[in-house]
Amino acid sequence: MVFKVKRFYRIFPFISLWLLLLTISSDLKPCSYAYAESKISQGSIDMLSKTGQAIAEIVDKVKPAIVNISSTKTIKTQTRFDPFFDDPFFRRFFGDESPFRAPKERKAFSLGSGVIVDAKGYILTSNHVIQGADEIKVTLLDKRELKGEVIGTDPLTDVAVIKINADRLSTIKWGDSDKLRVGETVLAIGSPYGLTGTVTMGIVSAVGRANVGIANYEDFIQTDAAINPGNSGGALVNVRGELVGINAAIFSTSGGYQGIGFAVPSNMAKSVMESLIKKGKVVRGWLGVTVQPLTQELAKQFNLKEENGALIGDLVEGGPAEKAGILRGDVIIEYEGKKIDEPNQLRNMVANTEPGKEVELTIIHENKTAKKRVTIGELPTEMQKSSTSEYNNLLRGVSIQDLTPELMNRLNLPKRLKGVVVTDIGEDSPAVMALTQGDVIQEINRQKITNVKEYENIVSKLRPEEDILLLIYRNGSSIFITLSGK
């Protein structure tokens, strides 16, 4: 008996505590479910529903005008069946055109996007999507597959125009890219990785991006709307469903989306397109000056209060600017009433001006502001010519361009330098590991190069696997490099 009593007293405190907690808890409302019972306000639901509905309406309106573009091109390569046939003894008998070294062809495929901008079937896309294509296939949203015809290309802005013959085509409305503001909501629509009709959303991160290294004439819209390979040539639209840009490129260290995409402004793309359709080429305005940005030191030397504007470093003799009385050392601060912050703005404005049009410039000359009337000329053909070598040798796939005063200033090249500048290198080019954009080719096999014509004349005579000695200018100095066919 004593044992039972003692045991009871030992467990009594625990029973008492349990009964106490049970009593207290019965008087309380369960608090663990308080968050689960909270409700989303109807106002919040309505606001988000309206936003989602608005985006869906924009997509429904625009999506039928966005197409998928697939292109194929033939690439020739040299096939060697055995290193045995590289022996000089056998080459003496069989030569470089031996059947054992016969050229081999393979097909390369490219995917991209395009935007139908005219009911007649005109489509805007990126030049690199269809560059060098033997065949272009356009797939519409309704699954129709049509053959695309190249109307014209402009590598300097990376814009191209193709055409399809079809009826019942949906088109997109043009927007004014000049009115875009940083922070505006935009949608990117295209076919990343071949996934047709993909829509992503973001904002305008910046406008007027230049010196990106994508094209010669750069005035890019930067956006954080997700853009991936295959989006090139697709549409960037505003909240009114208007085309404000043609998606062109991404900045990436991985090859995929990293929050920085670039689009060609619709106003620039439209100007290029109209010129290609009407004239078969892009006609650009020309001022005949070499300009450079104003640094703090330069502004101080010229006694300028601000660092905005384009400083004239040189003028082309007999050019439009010289005829108008503009002098070296003048600073252009306005073009047709629009403020100039840096040289690329001026360059793009001049290029987009119809030759023969008279424009008003505001300049600073010897610390005094003055107005000048200038009749814009046409950019000479040799200054905008860009050649892509499609020869069957080690320089195939290398795009080059004549050195213009603007390019020399932009690349900070010495005035004495002569040659052609490398603007692009195809992924399949044998020179892809040896050359880079911005290299200036001065000599080929000890023969001097001063322009595109001389370059093409020499390159066209090179044999398929012939070793090539190049003298190039890179990073402030001239160096020799070799391209070997072995």
Nearest to 210 by CA among 334, 376, 340, 113: 340
Tokens matching residue 134: 């033997």
| Cα–Cα distance for residue pair 301/314, rounded to 1 Å | 17
Decide if 365 is catalytic: no
Q: How far is CA 248 from CA 129, 160, 305, 365, 384, in A?
A: 10, 11, 37, 39, 20
Nearest to 153 by CA among 114, 121, 125, 119: 125
Contact, 390 vs 406, CB < 8 A? no
Decide if 128 is catalytic: yes
Strands 331-335 and 358-365, bridge-based pairing = antiparallel
Phi, psi (rounded to 5 degrees) for 433: -90, -10
Amino acid at 375: T
Q: How far is CA 100 from CA 68, 103, 391, in A?
A: 40, 9, 20
SS3 89: helix
**Catalytic-role residue among 70, 71, 110, 128:** 128
| Cα–Cα distance for residue pair 222/294, rounded to 1 Å | 24
**Catalytic-role residue among 70, 110, 191, 232:** 232
The secondary structure of the chain in percent helix, strand, coil, rounded to multiples of 5, reads: 25, 35, 40
Phi, psi (rounded to 5 degrees) for 351: -60, -35
Decide if 60 is catalytic: no
- Alpha helix (H) ranges present in 290-380? 296-301, 320-323, 343-351
Active site residues: 128, 158, 232
